[in-house]
A = this chain, B = another copy of it.
Amino acid sequence: MPNSLTFTLVITGAPWTSQAPQTALMFATAALSAGHSIDRVFLYGDGVHLASSLSTPPSDEAHWPQQWSVFLKKHDIPATACIASALRRGLIDKTEQARYELPAENLLAPFEIAGLGEWVEGSQAADRTIYFHGN
């Protein structure tokens, strides 16, 4: 059995467009079960839509943003949406709402917004960086 490793996960596909957030969550759950750790999750490009606090799928469908939020909180895993991807696509936290005088914020906790430096740091520090793209 391999030693315990640290993983950075990068999600670039949006929910309700691609399968990426769902596959990534199954992978993340299995990684923790195997004794590995996930040092961070980074949302990039269309993947930032996973961090929307306003996603409202029909009640009989999987709610990926909520499932991810629960998972991240339970295991205390930091998760970041890329600020450049997020601002263009209308994914906004309190700080950016104030800075740009926007009418609302819609970032789902515990996701945070930060720069690509988070990704650079994650992919340097982690033993493995795994990307989950759209189809």
Binding site for B on A (CB under 8 A): 14-17, 45-46, 49, 52-58, 61, 65, 85, 87-92, 96, 100, 102-106
Q: Is the interface of A mostly helix, strand, loop or mixed?
A: loop
Could you tell me if A89 and B46 are in contact, using CB atoms closer than 8 angstroms? no
Listed residue (A49, A90, A92, A103) with the most chain B CB atoms within 10 angstroms of its CB: A90
| Closest-CB distance, A40 to chain B (whole angstroms) | 23
| Closest-CB distance, A116 to chain B (whole angstroms) | 15
Closest-by-CB residue of B relative to A56 is B87
Q: How many copies does the complex hold?
A: 2
Could you tell me if B102 and A105 are in contact, using CB atoms closer than 8 angstroms? no
Could you tell me if A90 and B49 are in contact, using CB atoms closer than 8 angstroms? yes
7 additional A-B pairs beyond A16-B89, A56-B90, beta carbons within 8 Å, are A17-B45, A49-B49, A53-B103, A56-B88, A56-B92, A65-B90, A103-B106
Could you tell me if B90 and A52 are in contact, using CB atoms closer than 8 angstroms? yes
Could you tell me if A54 and B16 are in contact, using CB atoms closer than 8 angstroms? no
